Structure 1
Amino acid sequence: MSNRNIKVVRVTKDDYDQVCAITPPGQIYSGTDYLPDYFHMLLDMSNVEAYAAVVDGKFASFFLSFVVDNGRTVVTRAGRTNKEYAGMGLQDVMRRNTIKDRKYDKMAATSGAHVKAILDQIKSGKREKILMMEFRSYITSGDQLKSILNTIGNTTPSSAKPIDAIELGDILTNQQVSCHLFPESRVIVDWVPYRLIKSNAFLIKTIRTTVIGSNLENGTRILTFGNYFNTTAGLVCNIEVYGCIGETLAEHLYLHLRELISHEISGKVIIRCFYRQETKSNFITKLMNRFGLDITEIWGTGLVCTETTPEIYFR
């Protein structure tokens, strides 16, 4: 490593092709890599920092972080290293660059619960496990999804309604509501963990995010988040479910899927539904089947959120 010329540079939108060339998108997350479609949106966000490690003049590694929780937490949002440069520690070089001269209380990340490197860091005490969620993946074609939704028609949900960023901020900070929805005092949306802070609502609600709420004032309260992106495997939509999972969830799925088909779809549609570990996944699968979505497995069935401090991580 000492013999290589390594330079860390701030990534801009003009670097899109060089970043995407680091690792072919089809080789990441079983073809469901979000970065090519999210890249420009992420770089437009004020809480995002992105860097590349340039080795001997070539983009070798990429690291992108979110700053959340009123500036207290830096979250690893995206990272990749070309295989030719594996083992050089380039991710940590960029991670150190990100936190240099900053006073972050915590460093957080989410990952597939099957990723050995993360599990090893938890076991060694380098990271603390904060929250785990299960997910299941479902697949259909865009044409079939449109056909089924058009057959159902423009159903008017009895309780489900869209939630804007202002109302979401009120939900996050309403202890009587949030303690039921988020008992670990965290909400994970689109793989990013957030504390229950009002300002986070405006980071959660991106141009790709749909938030649906039902019965938020009673014991059957439920809140769901949907985000979509195009990948080599098809159009992927992440849907996180918090609260009481019952028949009302069908209304939420209907609204999220309606939003999805309002965009151009060609090829496959993959829905990843995330939920608390104690949830019976068979119930969610039956609801997905109503919309013509069949269960499949693409890159695991669980995620883990971890947290540490800069001092512990770089000890």
Structure 2
Amino acid sequence: MTTKAVIRQARMSDYSAVVDGIGDVYWGRDYLPTKYAEFIQDADFLSFVAEVDGEVVGFCSGHLVDNRHSVVKRAGRVKEEYQGQGIIIKLTDAIEGEVAKVGTVKWELMCCVKKNAERFNKSSAGQKGFLQIVHMQTYQMLLLRNNLPKVDPSVFRNVHEMTHEDMEQFFQNEVTWNRLIRQGRMCVHYVPLRRVKENIRHVINHRTKAFMSFGASCVKDASVQAERDVRNATMFSLTTWFPVSFGHAFNSDFHGSDYTDLESHLQMHMNLLSNAECEKVSWVINMDFAIDSDVTERLRKSLDVYGIPLTQNPNVLEQIVFQRN
């Protein structure tokens, strides 16, 4: 383990050293260039850099969510020639030191791809009370905006874009939440959120939209549209988007107790993709790993209709969230 690394709080002036100097660590989909200012200026982020002989060689941030009751480790990275020297451990130790000062944090969370999760489980850190709480199957497709279908969202009467008021009702309704969010956490770009109203700002904002569809649980006539009430909700989805080095990246998560409206949700998301500002679009779809195989097949067939092959990045087959109390 290196003894030379100096850990300090990250500053806006470190942008180039972190973003350009360390480089992209997410296969062309790195979100940090877009979100770096947020990571530095938002009081709910605890961001640190590692320096060796004055050179910034590492970065990591702790994101306080759930009304500051949880911290999520995010954007961790170390320059290649300094990897394996314990720098990331020093960075996370610094975050944990700040978390202790906050005084409200009950849960520590981290999300990683499957191969990193396997490595983590074998490490000493993995033996310190971390439990797997969310397991997602991940699909990643690289598309051209001009080849995407033009979709009229008004024809999907059963799928609605959620307002802040809708989301408040959803977060207040424990029964509906547990029915739709089967693993207990709503992941927004791999940030796992509890049913806490302070999290709504992470679900509806300038970079994220959410959709909900409603079943006929209270309507006997199937031809009658169900009332737009979260108690009738059968499916929920959301998309987060951000610019990346090659164009635009979209990250979509799908949850539900009944996937009858899967195709309509997909088309609502495609409508967002088709309005991207850049020609090249990366679309990532996350589904519950335990989802029925017939739903996965419907996902595949639905995209195939529009000439979109359901593919996976070999580096990102699955995403796993760990929690430590």
| TM tier, smaller | 0.7 to 0.9
Tell me how far apart the structure 1 counterparts of residues 2 and 285 of structure 2 sit (CA, whole Å).
45
In the alignment, structure 1 residue 164 sits paired with structure 2 residue 159 = no
TM norm structure 2? 0.84
- CA positional deviation for 1:154: 5.6
Equivalent residue number for residue 98 of structure 1: 95
Equivalent residue number for residue 223 of structure 2: none
Tell me how far apart the structure 1 counterparts of residues 26 and 252 of structure 2 sit (CA, whole Å).
17
Superposition map of 1:1-315 within 5 A: 4=4, 6-25=5-24, 28-100=25-97, 101-103=101-103, 104-115=105-116, 116-121=118-123, 124-145=127-148, 148-149=149-150, 152-153=151-152, 155-215=154-214, 217=230, 221-244=234-257, 246-267=259-280, 269-279=281-291, 280=293, 281-298=296-313, 299-309=315-325
- Conservation of the 8 A alpha-carbon contact between 2:71 and 2:107: yes
- Describe the superposition over 1:154-180 as per-residue Cα deviations: whole angstroms up to 9, x where unpaired: 643211111134432321230121110
Report the residue type matching 1:87 in the other structure. Answer: G
Tell me how far apart the structure 1 counterparts of residues 170 and 152 of structure 2 sit (CA, whole Å).
30
Tell me how far apart the structure 2 counterparts of residues 306 and 32 of structure 1 sit (CA, whole Å).
22
1:139–1:289 Cα change, 3 Å: farther
Let me know the Cα RMSD of the aligned residues: 2.4
Tell me how far apart the structure 1 counterparts of residues 21 and 200 of structure 2 sit (CA, whole Å).
32
1:20–1:220 Cα change, 3 Å: same
- CA positional deviation for 1:183: 3.0
- Conservation of the 8 A alpha-carbon contact between 2:22 and 2:78: yes
- CA positional deviation for 1:218: 5.7
- CA positional deviation for 1:220: 6.0
- Conservation of the 8 A alpha-carbon contact between 1:166 and 1:201: no
3-state SS of paired residue (1:143): helix
Between the two proteins, the alignment pairs up a number of residues equal to 301
- Conservation of the 8 A alpha-carbon contact between 2:182 and 2:255: no
Report the residue type matching 2:290 in the other structure. Answer: E
Q: Report the more deviating stretch, 98-107 or 74-83.
A: 98-107
1:283–1:82 Cα change, 3 Å: same
1:205–1:65 Cα change, 3 Å: farther
- Conservation of the 8 A alpha-carbon contact between 1:133 and 1:276: yes
Tell me how far apart the structure 2 counterparts of residues 126 and 175 of structure 1 sit (CA, whole Å).
27
- Conservation of the 8 A alpha-carbon contact between 2:176 and 2:233: no
Equivalent residue number for residue 312 of structure 1: none
- Describe the superposition over 1:27-84 as per-residue Cα deviations: whole angstroms up to 9, x where unpaired: x233222222332344443422211111110101000121011211110121100122
The gaps in structure 1 that reach 5 residues or longer are: 310-315
Q: Give the fraction of aligned pairs with identical amino acids, expressed as a percent.
A: 19
